Every structure is written in structure tokens, then in C-alpha cells.
Structure 1
Amino acid sequence: MKFFSGLQLVAVILLGLLLTSLWSCLPENENKTSKKGAIPPAPMVLVDKVTPADIPLQRTFTGHVEGIRSAEVRAQVTGILEKRLYDEGKKVKAGDVLFEIDPSSYQAVVDQAAARVASIRARLARAKRDLDRALPLAERNSISQRDLDAVQTEYESSRAGLAEAEAALRAARINLDLTRVKAPIDGFASMARHNVGSLIQAGSSQSLLTTIHDVDTVQVVFPVSDTQVRRIQGYLADGRAVMNTPISAHLFIDEEHPYPHAGNMVFGNPVISRETGCMIAKASFPNPEKTLLPGQVVRVTLDILTFINALAVPEQAVLQGRDSAMVIVVAPDDTTRFKPIEILARVGRLVLVASGLEGDERIIVEGVRKVGPGMKVNPRMANPADQSGTTGTKV
């Protein structure tokens, strides 16, 4: 009985092995096995066609606001500051009296000069009468030449003295008028530099009383580095770009608040400072709402030049190799080719290509990391809306 049970066990084992062998030969299992050696499908990538286009170059600089006209209000006569007649920070008009300096000493000089003028006029009148009497007498030889010369000399001296006295009177009146310090231009007057009762010394640093800023139009003053200047000159020198005329300017008070009024670059100093390595440039902006204030730090973006018939690719399409940058071109048979390129410039999210592309190539703009040289791909044209202006024809 035990021997018969052993034969049954052997038969069961053999039957199991046979069933296992048959299962492995079924068609379904053949399919699973064959899939392990199958060629994977070509990866899908987004491509775009490189097309020549005119592309503007913008550069952003940090600067500060200045009034288009600023005038220092200085005392031109010495004296005690008696009055301040304007509201600090308010708008004033040219000719408005802003300060008064004690006029008493200057009034006394005017009175003295006026009295001297009156005295010399009387002397001149007497000399004129003497001359009028002497001339007929001289014709009849009733007066010596010496006496006639003396009368004429007195008359001429009195005339010269009167001219001198009148000039002194005018100067005294000017100084008296200067005790009333007036605004030289329209604008906003800043804080007073001295309190009422202070001694103001003309011709010294103490003579500055306040400053007026005309901010109807403002200018932004900003530095441009020597490197940036030379790079722009290089773009223009090789004929790849032309300078924009005028150079339009756009202002940003901060990241969230672009200034609503466009301006223009109005000045570029042709001298590079040895201390800073920069040149100073200015852009002018209208300021109707008086939003921009002198001293305010802002950013200004300039449309400096335009690249003509430039080839541009999105920055995400560029691979940086050890020795050069490259893009992946999709050939007509949908295989990939890695092409080295020379970068001309970077403009926003675009990379401008100096050499390496001829134009009209299809380049991979999405999926560059999942393909290799000579690989078959499944190219799909990129949606322009998704590219957000990153292809060669969209800026």
C-alpha cells in the first residue's frame, strides 16, 4: 500500500511539469515574451520652424528721477532772513516772492544814492547855466580862454558825476529788490534751508534758501556700463542691427506698476567715467499726474536697436555643451541632428543665432532631454500660444 502511494506521487509531479510546459507554449504567453524585445515608439516632441525676423533689443537700467528743470534759489544779498512766504512742497510760479531779507540797510543805501543824484543834478544845472552864459562872452572875447575852459570842465565833470550817481542808485535799488527773493521758474518748492531769523551770507554755501523742481516733464538719469556700450557698438558695427530712432523708453516704478506714459532717450554722454566704468544717459518722460518725483529710484527699459532678419530660437531649445551651444534639428525623415550654434545675443526668452542655422529648419523646442543624435522622433508643431513669443518670428 505504501509503495502504490509513492507511484501516485511521482505521477502527480510528472503531470504538473507537463502542464507547466504546455502553458508556456500558449499564444498569450508568446505575446508577453515577444513584447520584451519590441522597438519602442518614437518619442513625441514639439518642434518649431526657424524663420528670419526683425527683433528689437531691449535693455533695462536702474536710475533716478530728476526734474527736467531744477533751480536753486539763493540769496544774492547778505542779511537777516525775515520771512518765508511760500508753503514748502507746494507749486510756485516764476516771480513769486519766496523769502524776504531785512531791507533796512539796503533802503538806506538807496536813499543815500538818490540824494547824491539830486545833488549832482543841481550842480549840473548850475554848470549848464554858467556854460550858457560863458559861450556868448567867449565869442565877443569878453572872457578868457582859461575861464571858458574851467566852465566847460565843470559842466562835463557834473555830467559824468551824474551818470555815476545814477548807476550807483540803480545798483542800490537792485540790491534792495534782491532782498525779496523770487522764484526763477515754475515748479514745486522744496523745504526751506534756513529758519526765519538766520543770518544769510551771500556768496557762500549759506546762500542756498531752497530748490524748485519743474516736474511737468522729468528725466531719468541712469548709468550704462562700458561692457554694454561696447556690445551694442559691436552689434551695429557688423551690420546685423540698426539703431532705433528715436530710442523709446518705458518706465517701471516697481515690478507691479509700469508707468503709463512712454518716453524717449534724450542724452548719452560720450565719455566713460574712469571711476565707475559707466557712461551717463538720460530718458525724458511726461509727468502730467506728478507721479514721478525727483530722487525716486526707478527702472527704465530702452528699445535700443533692431536685429535685421535675425534667426532666433527659444531659450529652452538650446543645449549648452562643453565647447559650444547646440540645438536639435529634426531632418525631413524625422531623425534628430545635433547642430552647434554661435550665440549672437539673448533677447528676453529668445536666443539669437549668429551662425549654425540657415533658416527654415525644424528645431525641437520641447522634449530636448529625451532624445539623442540620430533618433527617430514623432514631431508635432508647437502651438504659438504656448510658446508665448519664444520662436524666431514672435517677439
Structure 2
Amino acid sequence: MKSRFAAIGLTLLLFSCGKDQTVQAPPPPQIHVIDVISQKVNLEKDFVAQIYGKMDIPIRARTEGFLEGIHFQEGRMVKKGDLLYTVDPDPLRENVNTAMSQLAEAKVSLTQAENDLARYQPLAEINAISQKDLDAAISKKKSAEAMVEAAQSRVNFQNIQLGYTSIKSPISGLIGKTNAKVGEFVGRDPNPVILNTVSIIDSVRVEFFLSENDYLQLFREYQENHNQAQRSQPLKLILADGSVFNHEGYVDFINRQIDANTGTILVQATFPNPESLIRPGQFARVRASIRSVENGVIIPQRAVNEFQGRFFVFVVGEGNQVRQQEVQILGPYRDYYLIDSGLKEGDQVVLEALQKVAEGLVIEPVPFQFESQYKD
């Protein structure tokens, strides 16, 4: 009997202990969420580009010889007509002297022919000499005149060649580092022929390539905005450090054909460069607007999951219950995605801890103000 009462007491004791130790359900996790917004969106795309001067003029050695002098400071501005290089002029000066001697000899022959003709003409009038002798004297004079003209041409040519020994700047601009030093033989391969380059950089040419698809898309976009000229579509230049150049550029040239080997077309744009920050040879990215969308629905890219080419977000529904929603994306916009379908303005989506949420999970949404890293 005692054992029976002991068993009943033990049962009551265990029941009372279990009731006191009931585990309380944990509170819903606090998760950052954002409200889906809509605004005017300009979809942009970047293209790798190379920069050239407005004009890049190579300075060539137009005659062979030893370089005698360099008359400029590398990396400085030069003016049109400034003396840049001098090549040893002595061999060409001797050529000029030889040509001058030949000219003097031709002039002596012309003088003799003129004197002979002057003597023959009076004699021919009184029939003291034959007509044949007179004709020969006239022909000799004309031949001597032609010899003088030829000799004068040789003098002019040699003077031009001598002038090539003084190399002057064809334009005003920025000159680079010289490719030859004093004493070096220039003007014949493998020795330097192009000695330097002078560039005008108050504005720069930026060349980039569009794929066939990008070209068609941009062209159609410009056609849709037919009330605006093509030149009114500004381009941005993204420098190597990621900063945006503070001057906009415009397309001024599109090549006549698409390269059959690469499937791309060359496009050239001009950007003002009043501070001379941009230099020829730099690589940059050209950012072009490829589509404009009014009231475009956008969400931060970090709020989107991708799986096998499909895109998903977690939407907060009734009772703060999370559900997975597939979305269609038109394209990236800065650090957002532009949504084509699947979301509307005012929806709440999970921004962080995507790996901690799942279909049907109840959360405590914490509103979060997302700030883009891009500044207008």
C-alpha cells in the first residue's frame, strides 16, 4: 500500500516539475527590410576606351644624319614653328654648294649662247651666215636656258633637304619624351625615324568599340528620342580610379562598317579637357545611357538571389511572413536592379541575412534606409 502511495506522489511531482519547465517559443528574428521604390531610371552601360589627343602629330626625321641638338624641354608646351631638333647639316650643305656650282656653270653657258646669238643675228640679216647657223645659235641659247632652270631646281631641292635638318613643331601643343639622343644617327631604320609626338589636349578623342547588339540597341534608343539630336546624348568618362570625369562628351564619329573579325564597330567621342587632366594613352570607360524608363521599379542588388539564371527576392507578406518571389530583371542600374515584373512600388523585401530566411518564416521587419554608393 505504501508503495502505491509513493508511486502516485512521484507522478504528481513529475507533472508539477514539467509544467514549470515549459520552453517558451523564441521571438521572431529582426531582419532589415526596405520598401520598393520607383523613379525615372536611365540604364547605362560601360565600354572600355582609349584616349588620344585632339591631334597627335608625330615628329619625323625627314633626312638622315647625326642628331646635333635638342631644343625643347620634354613634357612641356611648344608653339607652332618652335625649333625642336637639329640634324648635322654639313653633308647636305655640301650638296647645296655642288648644286650652286652647277647652276653657275649653266649660267656661264647661257651667257656664251646669248653672246653667240647676238653676233649671228646681224650677220644673218646681211646673209653673211647661213640660216642653219642662226638656227643652231638659237637652239643653243634655248638649251642653255633649260640647263639653268634644271640647275636652279637642283639648288632648290638641295635647300629643301638642308631645311629638313632643322625640325620645327608643326602645331602648338604638348610634346613628349624624345626617342633619340644627341649624337644618335636618325632618319633610317632601325634608328629612330619618329623622334617625338606633339599633342593638342585641350580636348581629347576617346575611341571605344560597340558590339553589334549594343550598336543596334543604342541606335534604336536614339531613334525613339527622335526629337533630340544624336549629339545631345551625353557620355560620361570613368577614369582608372573609378572617379567620373567632370566634363561630358559627345559622339562625333561612327565608323562606316562593323569589323567582320570582331563583330564590333568603332565609335569616337570628344571630351573637353581644359585642366589637361586627361593624357593620350590613358585607358578609361565610357558610360552611355542605353535606355530610359519612367517610373522604373528598383531594388538593391544585394536583396536579390540568383539561381540558375533566375532571380528571387524574399517579400514580407501578411503577418510578417516571408515568401519567395521570382522577379524579372531588365538590367543593372548602378547598385540596383531595374525590375520588369514580380514587384511593385511599396512592397517590402528582405535586404540582409538572405541565408537566414526561408519560405514561411515569420520575422520582425526592421525598416532600413538603403544609400547608393553612386553619387550624381
After TM superposition, the score normalised by the length of structure 1 is 0.69
- Structure 1 residue 351, shift from structure 2 partner: 1.4
- Structure 1 residue 178, shift from structure 2 partner: 1.5
1:299 equivalent in structure 2: 284
Q: Distance in 2 between matches of 1:185 and 1:205?
A: 27
Q: Distance in 1 between matches of 2:59 and 2:201?
A: 19
User: Retained in 2: the 8 A contact 1:328–1:368?
Assistant: no
Task: Pick closer, same or farther for the CA change 1:12–1:283 going to 2, 3 Å.
Answer: same
**Among residues 167, 172, 191, which one is paired with 1:206 in the alignment?**
191
User: Retained in 2: the 8 A contact 1:187–1:212?
Assistant: no
Give yes or no for the alignment of 1:148 onto 2:115.
no
User: Retained in 1: the 8 A contact 2:47–2:209?
Assistant: no
Long gaps (5+) in structure 2: none
SS of residue matched to 2:38: coil
1:233 equivalent in structure 2: 216
2:327 equivalent in structure 1: 341
SS of residue matched to 1:206: coil
User: Retained in 2: the 8 A contact 1:316–1:365?
Assistant: no
Q: Distance in 1 between matches of 2:319 and 2:298?
A: 23
User: Retained in 1: the 8 A contact 2:34–2:351?
Assistant: yes
User: Retained in 2: the 8 A contact 1:263–1:286?
Assistant: yes
Task: Pick closer, same or farther for the CA change 1:83–1:378 going to 2, 3 Å.
Answer: closer
Q: Distance in 2 between matches of 1:53 and 1:237?
A: 19
Q: Distance in 1 between matches of 2:110 and 2:209?
A: 68
1:99 equivalent in structure 2: 85
1:173 equivalent in structure 2: 159
Q: Distance in 2 between matches of 1:89 and 1:45?
A: 55
Which deviations, in whole Å up to 9, do the C-alpha atoms of 1:118-174 show, x marking residues without a partner? 333343344445546656765676653322321221222122112111111101111
2:98 equivalent in structure 1: 112
Q: Distance in 1 between matches of 2:162 and 2:309?
A: 78
Which deviations, in whole Å up to 9, do the C-alpha atoms of 1:37-69 show, x marking residues without a partner? 99x8898874535536242414253x5544333
Give yes or no for the alignment of 1:193 onto 2:176.
no
- Structure 1 residue 78, shift from structure 2 partner: 2.4
1:161 equivalent in structure 2: 147
- Structure 1 residue 72, shift from structure 2 partner: 2.8
Q: Distance in 2 between matches of 1:292 and 1:365?
A: 43
Q: Distance in 2 between matches of 1:125 and 1:218?
A: 60
The one-letter code of the counterpart of 1:206 is N
Q: Distance in 2 between matches of 1:295 and 1:316?
A: 36
2:239 equivalent in structure 1: 252
2:72 equivalent in structure 1: 86
Q: Distance in 1 between matches of 2:104 and 2:183?
A: 36
User: Retained in 2: the 8 A contact 1:254–1:299?
Assistant: no
User: Retained in 1: the 8 A contact 2:209–2:265?
Assistant: yes
After TM superposition, the score normalised by the length of structure 2 is 0.72
Aligned ranges 1:1-395 → 2 under 5 Å: 46-51=33-38, 53-59=40-46, 61=48, 65-128=51-114, 130-131=116-117, 143-200=129-186, 202-208=187-193, 210-217=195-202, 219=204, 224=209, 226=211, 230-231=213-214, 233-234=216-217, 245-255=232-242, 259-266=245-252, 270-272=257-259, 274=261, 282-296=268-282, 298-309=283-294, 310-321=296-307, 324-327=310-313, 338-356=324-342, 360=345, 362-364=347-349, 366=351, 369=354, 386-389=369-372
1:3 equivalent in structure 2: none
Q: Distance in 1 between matches of 2:16 and 2:106?
A: 145
User: Retained in 1: the 8 A contact 2:234–2:250?
Assistant: yes
SS of residue matched to 1:254: coil
Q: Distance in 1 between matches of 2:218 and 2:359?
A: 33
Task: Pick closer, same or farther for the CA change 1:130–1:244 going to 2, 3 Å.
Answer: closer
Which deviations, in whole Å up to 9, do the C-alpha atoms of 1:221-270 show, x marking residues without a partner? 666474xx535634765999868844422242425x65444444555555
User: Retained in 2: the 8 A contact 1:251–1:259?
Assistant: yes
Long gaps (5+) in structure 1: 1-6
Q: Distance in 2 between matches of 1:273 and 1:306?
A: 27
Of 314-323 and 107-116, deviating more is: 314-323
User: Retained in 2: the 8 A contact 1:74–1:209?
Assistant: yes
Q: Distance in 2 between matches of 1:389 and 1:204?
A: 56
How many residues get paired?
368
- Structure 1 residue 356, shift from structure 2 partner: 4.6
RMSD in angstroms over aligned alpha carbons?
4.8
1:4 equivalent in structure 2: none
Q: Distance in 2 between matches of 1:312 and 1:249?
A: 22
